[in-house]
Amino acid sequence: MNAAANGSELAPASSRRTRLRDYQAQLLERMQAAQAGAAQAVHQLGVTIGGERYLLALAEAGEIVPPQPLARVPLTQPWYLGLANVRGSLLGVVDLARYFGANGQGSAAGPDARFLSLAPRLGLNCALLVTQVHGLRRPETMTPAEDNPARLLDADGHAWTPLSLAALVREQRFLHVGL
């Protein structure tokens, strides 16, 4: 490309440096505004597991896929459903409703059920069976429940429990699926 094509012949070097500095300053302002806006509007993924609603950090959640055929694994906990092949990766599938002890009841694999894989940064090839995915939620718009301040109530009166998947994968019980 010649100088006439990019317009550099018309502007002296000092003018180009000034424009570059102005551009960099504008870019920095936009990045800071985007970071401030992101901090103000924290979204979490809302899911139902069994009959309970949970809020999951987006950074801890991976891909959401329809349930895949499972290969059962003998001598494992009842809440460990087996292995699923999701896009060429084997994922251990866990029914959190059973894991949390929902009276032996698991998450129903109905038409709205999905597998939610854990984010790769959590270091565990695992997916959770969720009854329903509700999409993004803004916990800052919710109010603490009077009976349990750890739970949040949305504008429709639904109770949501924040769930840390990073803490879940550090639980020894969760890591030991064998009987």
- Average pLDDT over all residues of the chain: 85
Name which residue leads in pLDDT, 82 or 1: 82
What is the structure's pLDDT at 42? 79
Residue among 46, 115, 35, 57 nearest 82 (CA): 115
Class of 44-175 per CATH?
Answer: mainly beta
Would you state the pLDDT for residue 101? 85
Q: Tokens in use for 152?
A: 């949040």
> What is the percent of the chain with per-residue pLDDT over 90, rounded to a whole number?
68
Looking at residue 178, the DSSP 8-state letter turns out to be: B
Is the pLDDT at 162 greater than 70? The verdict is yes
Cβ atoms 150, 43 nearer than 8 A? no
Rounded to 5 degrees, what are φ and ψ at 48? -105, 130
Mean pLDDT calculated for residue range 82-105: 89
Half-sphere exposure of 55 (CA within 13 A, CB side): 19
**What are the domain boundaries of the chain?**
3-40, 44-175
Per-residue pLDDT at 179 exceeds 80: yes
Task: Specify burial of residue 165 (Cβ count, 10 A radius: 0-12, 13-18, 19+).
Answer: buried
Asked if residue 25 has pLDDT above 90, the reply is: no
Query: How many whole angstroms separate alpha carbon 175 and alpha carbon 94?
Result: 11
Band (pLDDT 50/70/90 cuts) for residue 12 is: low
The whole-number average pLDDT for the span 116-145 is 95
Interval 98-114 mean pLDDT: 79
More confident residue, 37 or 70: 70
Phi, psi of 8 (to 5 degrees): -75, -20
pTM, full prediction: 0.74
* End-to-end Cα distance, the chain: 68
CA distance 142 to 144: 7
